[in-house]
Amino acid sequence: MAEKQIILTEEGLRKLEEKLEHLKTVRRHDVAERIKQAIDFGDISENSEYEDAKNEQAFIEGEILTLEKMLRNAKLIDENAVGIDIVTVGSTVILKDMEFGDELEYTIVGSAEADPSEFKISNESPVGEAIIGQKVGSVVEVNVPAGILKYEVLNIKRA
């Protein structure tokens, strides 16, 4: 089975590379120091500090492997090629909530970059899936656990 492609913007790629570098240089070193100090305390068979540090080391190494795999499978979005006629990954979209009249602005990104607190939603999320391929003026219905949401696409621009 082929590995899943990870869709990233240039900013998302940079953030993943920075996180990987931080894990490899800073966090690896910090946890190695913790392990060394715990060993210096003597008997490691009943040393909870040693166990905690080894668990953290395993977590960091797992995260490094995950990030390396993501970067290997990364597909960079050419942000200059993102059109403004239909919603695609890399688009910033202004939606109107048809029930409440609120306007919402989201940037559509790959799942690895999604961060609702920064109004970046995944192309795989219910709203992202519903608006991909839509044009200005389109009305979409989104099935969510709370029911059905209706949005009108008001504007599409480059992120």
What is the CATH classification number for the domain harbouring 104?
A: 3.10.50.30
Crossing angle for the helix pair 48-72 and 28-40, to the nearest 10 degrees: 160
> Domain boundary at 37, 61, 76, which?
76
Question: Which residues, 6 or more positions from 42, have their beta carbon under 8 angstroms from its beta carbon?
Answer: none
**75-113 pLDDT per residue, tens:** 888 877 777 899 999 999 999 999 999 999 999 999 999
Quote the pLDDT of residue 2: 62
**34-91 pLDDT per residue, tens:** 999 888 877 777 778 888 999 999 999 999 999 999 999 998 888 777 778 999 999 9
Give the C-alpha separation, 54 to 69, whole Å. Answer: 23
**5-17 pLDDT per residue, tens:** 888 888 889 999 9
Contact 157, 84 (CB under 8 A): yes
Sign of the alpha-carbon torsion through 98, 100, 103, 107:
negative
pTM reported for the whole predicted model:
0.75
CA-closest candidate to residue 6, choices 75, 68, 77 = 75
Query: Long-range contacts for 76-81 (Cβ within 8 Å, ≥24 apart)?
Result: 76/8, 76/9, 76/10, 76/13, 77/7, 77/8, 77/9, 77/10, 77/110, 79/9, 79/10, 79/158, 79/159, 80/158
Nearest-5° angle of CA 100, CA 141, CA 128?
100
Q: What is the extent of the structural domain holding 112?
A: 79-158
CATH number at residue 38: 1.10.287.180
Quote the pLDDT of residue 92: 94
Please check whether residue 20 lies inside any domain of the structure: yes
Same domain, 55 and 97: no
Q: How many Å from the N-terminal Cα to the C-terminal Cα in the chain? A: 32
Please check whether residue 42 lies inside any domain of the structure: yes
Quote the pLDDT of residue 11: 87
